[in-house]
Chain A
Amino acid sequence: QQQVKQSPQSLIVQKGGISIINCAYENTAFDYFPWYQQFPGKGPALLIAIRPDVSEKKEGRFTISFNKSAKQFSLHIMDSQPGDSATYFCAASTNNFNKFYFGSGTKLNVKP
């Protein structure tokens, strides 16, 4: 049973558009929610992360929205660029960071 469910599996967005990827979880002990970006042939790299005490976190064009009551969080990429084309993973961990549970990934293609 997957601890973190991610959708959509793939996403095509025009350059300049907004990309939105959604994740949901069940375990209320999760205390940390990172997003990772992975380019082909590379390992994932941390993009942005949020804790449940805030509802939104923004870093440049990337924003995480967090809804604690719904147990959902999402990544918004504003003004999407072809260079953003990659696979994105959401994840969740408890506050000891010993185990991270990843979503199944979203392959984003930003068309020029």
Chain B
Amino acid sequence: NAGVTQTPKFQVLKTGQSMTLQCAQDMNHNSMYWYRQDPGMGLRLIYYSASEGTTDKGEVPNGYNVSRLNKREFSLRLESAAPSQTSVYFCASSGRGTGQETQYFGPGTRLLVL
């Protein structure tokens, strides 16, 4: 049981390049989330998916797109990277029932945009 996994762990991009951050969970959770973490800003929600086939915007969606490929996988795409997108990106998931409220986070992807 790996929990939430993210790839890659670290990436350097040049301005204007595109990339996709991958996230997968093996806990059979319905909900999945993408956050970015910046110093002094805490975690800010980029997009979330309440169930397979649905996605919705969070606080800071501009410059990002997401795909809920299936129940396990939720990817985040940067179409044209900008230096302002330099950040640590975390994927999280949560399930229904008594565990609905607990978000389980992945180890993060550190992205540097030059």
Interface residues of A (CB under 8 A from B): 2, 4, 6, 9, 32, 34, 41-46, 49, 89, 91, 93, 96-105
* Cross-chain contact B40 with A104 (CB below 8 angstroms): yes
* Cross-chain contact B48 with A43 (CB below 8 angstroms): no
Chain B interface, >50% SS class:
strand
Interface residues of B (CB under 8 A from A): 4, 31, 33, 35, 40-45, 48, 50, 56, 58-59, 90, 92, 94, 100-108
A-B contact pairs, 25 of them (CB 8 A): A6-B42, A34-B101, A34-B103, A41-B108, A42-B108, A43-B105, A43-B107, A44-B43, A44-B90, A45-B105, A46-B103, A49-B101, A49-B102, A89-B42, A93-B101, A96-B50, A97-B101, A98-B56, A99-B45, A99-B59, A100-B103, A101-B59, A102-B44, A103-B42, A105-B40
User: Do A104 and B90 form a contact, CB below 8 Å, given A97-B100, A98-B48?
Assistant: no
Give Cα A98 to B55, complex, Å.
Answer: 10
Give B99's nearest chain A residue, CB to CB: A46
| 9 shortest interchain CB distances as A-B pairs | A43-B105, A102-B42, A102-B43, A104-B42, A46-B102, A44-B105, A105-B42, A43-B90, A103-B42
CB distance from A70 to the nearest CB of B (A): 21
CB distance from B82 to the nearest CB of A (A): 22
Q: Chain A residues near B104 (CB, 8 Å)?
A: 46
